[in-house]
Chain A
Amino acid sequence: MKKNSSIPKMGFKLFRPNPRMFGKLFALFVFMIFCTHSYGVGQNKKMDVHFNNVSIDFVIEYLESATDYTFVYNDTDKEGIKISVSLKDADIVTILDAVFKDTPLAYQIKEDRIVVLRRKNNTMKPEEEKQLVVKGRVISEKEQEPIIGATVILEGTTLGVATDVEGEFSINVPKDAKTLVISSIGYAKYRFALNSNVFDKLNIIQLKDSVSFVDEVVIVGYGTTKVKDATGAVSRLGEKDIAMSPAGASVQSMLQGRAPGVNVMIQSASPTSPVNVTIRGISTLTGNTQPLWVIDGVPDYSQSSTGDVTNALFNLNLSDIESIDILKDVSATAIYGSRAANGVIIVTTKRGKLGMQPTVDLSLRAGIQTINSNKLNALNATEYKRFVETVGRQSIEIAGFDYNTRLFFNESKFNQLNTSQWDGSMLELLPDAFMDGDTDWWDEMTQNALTTQCDISVRGGTENSNYFISFGYNDQKGVVKGGRSKLLTGRLNFETLIGKQIKLGVNLSGSSRKTNNKDNLIDNIIRFRPDFPAYNEDGSINLVTTSTVIENPHLTLANRNNGRGLTFSGSAFLEWTILDGLKFKSTGTVNYTNSQTDVFSKKGTRGYATAYNSRNLGNSENNTYVWDNTLTWMKTFGKHNLVAMVGHSIEKYKSKMLSGGAEEFPDEEVLINLGSGADSWADSDEAGNTLVSAIARVNYKYNNRYLATFTFRTDGSSKFGPDKRWGYFPSGALAWVISEEEFMAPLKLYIPYLKLRASVGKIGSQNLGNYDYISLMGSASYDGQPGTKPTSLGNPVLQWEETTSVDVGLDFGLFNERLRGTIGYYNKQINNLIYDGSVPANSSYTTVNQNVGTIANVGWEFDIRGDVIRTDKVNFEIGFNIATNSGKVKKLDGIVKELKMPYYYEYVRLVEGGHIGDWYGYKYAGRLFRTQEEIIALKPVSSTGVQENYFGSYDSPGDAYLIDQDGDGKITAKDKVKLGNFNPKFFGGFNLSLSWKNLYATAVFTYSYGAKRMWYYQYEKTSGVGTYNVYNSIFDSYNFKGGDALFPRLAYAGTVANALCDLYIHDASFLRMNSLNLNYRLPANWFTGTFVNNVELSFSASNLFTITKYPGFDPQGNFGSTSTSATANDVITVAQGVDYSTYPSARTYSLGIKFTFK
């Protein structure tokens, strides 16, 4: 106790007498023959004391009851000490000084504790010789900063000391002492075992952050709250979860499996892979299904799931992120009004802390990605020849020669056969059927790809300011050659206090991302025949000039398909504490994103004449300006606790686009500026919208157990006509913290936290164009002169999609909060769905965006986390979540009774009462046709006695046996039925985390059950194999394997028509180990005395295994994006269910090292 002389002098204020306190002490006065008189409350009070030769125990007991202080002492120190002190109107320091003046004891005030200890210069009592000294330094595990005023108590006694400004302590303990308990507010209690190793040295004791999850802060939009005070459904990912993300993850992808009801689908392992995030089901038929992302208060309007440079979410550096809060129910999201129907995700970046020593974090990671195509692979030349010969002979047997088979087999020789007694084996291959190339394109064009990541950040603070500065570099290559994404980011977050009332801050961030998109290479590999020579004799790329539907993969690799995204965001805020509890905050933000695309298609590019080359350049710029003002008032009176906020927000969004292109360049490397093309074109456009909002929220809490939140937002949007411009979005929520009730007291140990909450409210989404309400005029020239004419039909009565949402949830923390979780139910009804609905054709249009239908999403969510082992050395935690969602169409526009999508193919049918995602097609009987006799027996006979086809004229053994539902003896469109649904019945994730000494390990798993996805490749190939190369799974077909094959009969001609049946729809249930992370912190004492504070080594692996029966690349990937689907509608209603086999998955292994310097 070297610091016992430096007793802090506290400034006490004079407060009015407290009559209640007075009355309480009156009894003591009578009984003990002394009198007291006190005024004020708590630690700031002055009082009268009269102790007349009472034991020090009594004095301590008295002072503990009269003040808010607790005493920490060693019983043996104070034995037999008697006190006589009489003081009037004295503060606590004066009283204590007098009490201890003539004793061998001294005292220290540490916050609300008074530590009583023996004076150093005192002669040791004989029994104290048996005691040992334990010295230690208590620091926070996270920041590695000293913890001042932590109490160190010998377990089972009141013997204890407090740590000093260096976090150090020294305590004498009896020889048989077992354990010290170290505690401090905000940190988890730490039990320090005493053994021979701990004496005679300075023990470093690290305290973890408090594990009481109910005190964790969550961000709810324009404010924060604590878990226990929240009335909404909010899932939070903290810094630790984010730090454990696999190398190359984007902010969307790392939500996978982490929160119930949040379904994240990653299209592929491509560095430019789209990621689709759906929260509690799809809430629209037409527009954007992605949640609203709010990054440090600024809404992100990239609004799509694409992975290219137009999506600014990919420009975020994960190392900068402090937390991600996912707002799901209406109580939490309603504050974002007209944009919140798909949920809101709030990203908060890191900040420094006041008084924090400058801390530098340097993190280096390198990873390698290996392709994981679920064993799919393109055929090599030998395999291809075998495939062509087998399928070709069988095809000709059934359907005769066709365009494709004529390329391989000798038709004139066949014609000379002159017999009906022939079979396929008698066909002769043409001498030039195959070329002599032999390229294994799959091997040639895929690679183990390197990912590197480097982040450096500095944070710290002074008495008045705090700062965070970071710089990041991320380079990810694709497992398919040529694909790449490079990201550079920088950020500065700075806050400072001016006086006591004003806080100013700025957040600046900028980034640049460069991408090379080679996602189409796989498609070209799988088309380009392996027997085609890759190069011509002169060394140039073999363009196979006879075909415009294939492309040499080397050309794809050489073709330019680049993107560049730049973002800049700057915001400044002023926070003014007008009065105690009343705060005004004003934040202004400018956000700028620029994306550029550069595509050059060389001669020989698929889809174009061989002698044609072209270049397209695009540049688009978006600006978002936001100005938010909020006034927050916090007040506690008695048991009532009120936080009220009113605010106002205006937003302006501007976008500009400039694109140009040219074709027929004389050269493909240098003279490719647009002016060098023989023919060129250009276009430009600008658009914008504005939003004005007023917001209000009241949080009310009574007696810590009854909570209510009411929010209201009104949004005025320029996207709507003057009469429909304003939308009103109220919500209300009630919560009851049952565990705070008296009757729960006996169960406090088992059920420390139990909260029931319910909310209802209305939110919206603005899935429409900027000017849909006006009939617009566009250019239409005539006779060489400029002209204008109407080009769109305005809908002045168009309005928001309105979601009315009901949410009920039960949050719990059981067994000393070792088991925590939530169970919830929601019902979202989306009215006024915007859809391209029918309009009388005299308008000169047949469809226009209008509010037509209603869908409802109903679901359950459950998540639970448990500390299976919680000891000093070992912590083992398991988290599990599961969610269901069912989307039902309640109403369509009334004129159209069903919507079939995509437009032509009708894979999916939406009808009133049907579910979103229902497949529509023929029912497969569960087996292929076995014999021709079987087919003939099925054929119906028409009224005129003619035998008709069962399905197609080429029905043959090996074809799918489809069920005739209407009993007319043949397969017609009337036999189409519902074939299951592509949305999972339930999905979720679980994770394990283990910390043991310096080792920390986590594993994240995701799973999905019951989704039925269409494997487009199988569907497509069944209706004709063409002359393209194919995937090796094609050998698992009737042609090669007979009846039990994956693919039915394949052929060049004489196939069944394009008919979706459930043979091509596969159970896409899966269980996947998404990531495994191992993190080891080198022992701190290695670096004692150096500026190195901490070194961590990490290993992470992603996508280690997937258990699934699904035959394609990936049970949840390769869904369509806009490029493969006809319209935006299809993306939402069909594309998620279709696997287009665009790009395989990959495994990533990475190693990292992180240094912290101070």
Chain B
Amino acid sequence: MKRIIYILILGFILSSCDDFLTEEPVHKQTLENAVVDYDGAQNIINGMYASLTLGSGTSGSDFFGGSLACALSSQAGVSRAGGTTFYSMSYNSTTNGIATYWQQWYACVNAANAAIISISALADNKFPDTKEKSRMIAEARCFRAWVNAHLLWCFGHFQTDDEYGILYREELSDMVNVHRDRLSVKDSYQKIFDDLDAAIKDLGDYTTSKRLSRQLAQALKVKLLLNRGWEGDYENALLLLNETMSSLPADFKMDPDMKNMYNEAWDSKEVLWARYLEDGSGRAYSEFAYTQTIIQTGDLLVVGQEPSSLKSFYPEFNSWLETDPRYDVTMGWARRLNATGQQYFCPTKVARGGRADMNDKFTTYYFRYPELLLMQAELRARTGATIAEALSPINTLRNNRTNPVLPQIPEPATRDELMDIIFKEYCLELFVENGSEWFASLRFEKDGNPWFKTLKPDVAEVSTNKYCWPIPAVETSVNSQIKPNPGFDN
């Protein structure tokens, strides 16, 4: 009898063991088993890039594409496609879109963290060589830095040394580790620079816009310093920029034909880093602002009537563009999605043919070569170079194009005029591509005020607190530890 009881008890203990209760998902990986070899490491890097369109979901959407570029462009007073909320900067914690940016950008951070954690944990001998491991980690860190930079620029006080920095994450998120506060602005920059420095050290040279490169890491760091503008930042930025430009890979260069560059889109060698949409039957669905919003904001085709670009842009910028040679290659007719397939006059440089070809290369240009020259001009101007020295990169940019022909800009009389020239060039070259015109409109001043006030004369005085967006309610209402941005409703 005793023996039976012993056998039973033993049986209980044996079968109750936790091994039996550990059920691994069959067709889903966990962080522990996702990367077990070099293939796995490559996969998780690929997945990280895919998160730019997929976010935390499984089907593509537009949170790091045209929608962001249009919103910031409207904020600058350039394009109307971002809508009046961004134009008037009257966003609040529940404004549509802002919550999506916040949530999905963190999905991108999460994907980068998954890659960094799992590749770091993979034994060195699983890689073809040890450099490859650090290169892959650097790639993921560069990606994380790039997303964090946007979080800081859009949701943080990126120009002020205060407590409103980013909410920093470096672990895979789960229900337990998501309640936390943000870093100070200074610490936020430190985290981003740490990632970028690793990327500058270990990443390879540019080969394609679909993947991150050392040059992008360098350019991003320059742009961060430029936007921050703290003491010594311009000097350091220029130093780094010069170093970068002196050793650019031969592949990476401007296309003389601007139209051709936009046609080639993410395959163009002028594009350093872009959002690539996975090949499929409906890329247009992963992009909404460029394939729909920006088109229907434009001017509906009426036979026998001259199209107007004023529907697409606010008047001040429109007056610049209409007289700029780039107008002819950046504007055109595109079709929005509706039953009758109506045509609209709109910025076809990003809208392309619109919904006429659902699988067209709808590209978000995160960084093109010309921006290097624009930054060079600006940094020279801000670090005491002569007007001629500062202007020369702008003219280099213009010189590099043969279609359209961009006339050289004569040396202006004053530094203020020089700054206006550089600012306008930012806007005309990069409008609705990645939000650069917004950040430029903050850095450059007109009549003692940031330029955006001139571009948006009808908008009432806006507090500097509103230069960034509110932390959305989907975060602040749940995360009791986070400090919301001052000046908002939460």
Contacts and interface: CB of A to CB of B under 8 A. Distances in A.
Interface in A766-814: 770-771, 774-798
Given A782-B278, A787-B44, A788-B43, A844 B56 contact: yes
B260 interface: no
Interface in A574-592: 578-579, 584
A1133 B397 CA distance: 63
Interface string B149-175: 000000000000000000101001111
A848 B175 contact: yes
Contacts of B21: 690, 692, 716-718, 725
Contacts of B175: 793-798, 839, 843, 848, 850
A780 B51 contact: yes
A725 B18 contact: yes
B172 A770 contact: no
A842 B106 contact: yes
B250 interface: no
Given A841-B99, A845-B56, A793 B173 contact: yes
Contacts of B34: 777, 788
B30 A775 contact: yes
A895 B479 CA distance: 10
Given A716-B21, A788-B44, A778 B474 contact: no
Contacts of B4: 578, 584
Given A687-B25, A694-B12, A777-B34, A788 B102 contact: no
Nearest to B56: A844
A692 B210 CA distance: 49
* Most chain B beta-carbon neighbours within 10 Å: one of A725, A789, A793: A789
A689 B109 CA distance: 31
Nearest to A718: B23
Contacts of B58: 778, 780, 791
* Most chain B beta-carbon neighbours within 10 Å: one of A584, A786, A841, A845: A841
B475 interface: yes
Interface in A841-864: 841-846, 848, 850
B54 interface: yes
Contacts, number: 204
Interface string A736-771: 000000000000000000000000000000000011
B8 interface: yes
B174 A771 contact: no
Contacts of B104: 844
Nearest to B30: A774
Contact of A841 (B28, B50, B472): B472
B114 A789 contact: yes
Interface in B417-476: 472, 474-475
A778 B28 contact: yes
Contacts of B1: 578-579
Interface residues of A, number: 61
A1156 to B, nearest CB: 44
Contacts of B339: none
Given A685-B26, A685-B27, A793-B175, A842 B167 contact: yes
B42 A785 contact: yes
B1 to A, nearest CB: 7
B12 A648 contact: yes
A844 B180 CA distance: 14
Contact of A631 (B8, B46, B54): B8
B290 to A, nearest CB: 20
A616 interface: no
Contact of A775 (B50, B167, B172): B172
A780 B50 contact: yes
B167 A686 contact: no
A895 B477 contact: yes
Contact of B475 (A684, A842, A850): A842
B174 A648 contact: no
Contacts of B176: 796-797
Given A578-B1, A771-B23, A784-B279, A846 B103 contact: yes
B43 A786 contact: yes
B295 interface: no
A666 interface: no
Given A775-B174, A785-B42, A844 B106 contact: yes
B431 to A, nearest CB: 27
A840 B44 CA distance: 24
Interface in A682-715: 684-690, 692, 694
A736 B34 CA distance: 60
Contacts of B393: none
B164 to A, nearest CB: 15
Interface in B241-299: 276, 278-279
Given A796-B174, A840-B478, A688 B23 contact: yes
Nearest to B17: A692
A186 interface: no
A648 B15 contact: yes
* Most chain B beta-carbon neighbours within 10 Å: one of A579, A631, A770, A846: A846
A840 B46 contact: no
A782 B50 contact: yes
B474 to A, nearest CB: 4
B99 A716 contact: no
A790 B111 contact: yes
Contacts of B8: 629, 631, 648
Contact of B28 (A584, A791, A798): A791
Contact of A788 (B11, B47, B169, B174): B47
Contacts of A838: 474, 477-478
A791 to B, nearest CB: 7
Interface in B30-45: 30-31, 34, 40, 42-45
Contacts of A780: 46-47, 50-51, 54, 58
A404 B61 CA distance: 35
A790 B25 contact: no
B173 A782 contact: no
Contacts of A794: 174-175
Contact of B49 (A694, A783, A841): A783
Contacts of B482: 840
Interface in A546-588: 578-579, 584
B46 A782 contact: yes
A622 to B, nearest CB: 14
Nearest to B54: A780
B210 A783 contact: yes
B370 interface: no
B279 A771 contact: no
Contacts of A722: 18
A650 interface: yes
A716 B16 contact: yes
A631 B11 CA distance: 13
A579 B4 CA distance: 12
B479 A789 contact: no
A840 B178 contact: yes
* Most chain B beta-carbon neighbours within 10 Å: one of A579, A650, A791: A791
B278 A845 contact: no
A844 B110 contact: yes
A406 B278 CA distance: 44
B474 A841 contact: yes
28 contacts: A579-B1, A648-B15, A650-B15, A685-B27, A692-B20, A718-B23, A775-B173, A776-B25, A780-B51, A780-B54, A781-B50, A782-B47, A787-B44, A788-B46, A788-B47, A789-B111, A790-B172, A793-B173, A793-B175, A794-B174, A797-B175, A840-B178, A840-B475, A841-B478, A842-B173, A844-B104, A844-B107, A895-B477
The 5 closest A-B pairs by CB, nearest first: A787-B46, A789-B47, A844-B107, A787-B47, A686-B26
Given A789-B48, A838-B478, A842-B169, 7 more contacts: A690-B21, A718-B22, A775-B173, A777-B44, A777-B114, A780-B51, A782-B278
Interface of B: 1, 4, 8, 11-12, 15-16, 18, 20-23, 25-31, 34, 40, 42-51, 54-56, 58, 99, 102-104, 106-107, 109-111, 114, 167, 169, 172-176, 178-180, 210, 276, 278-279, 472, 474-475, 477-479, 482
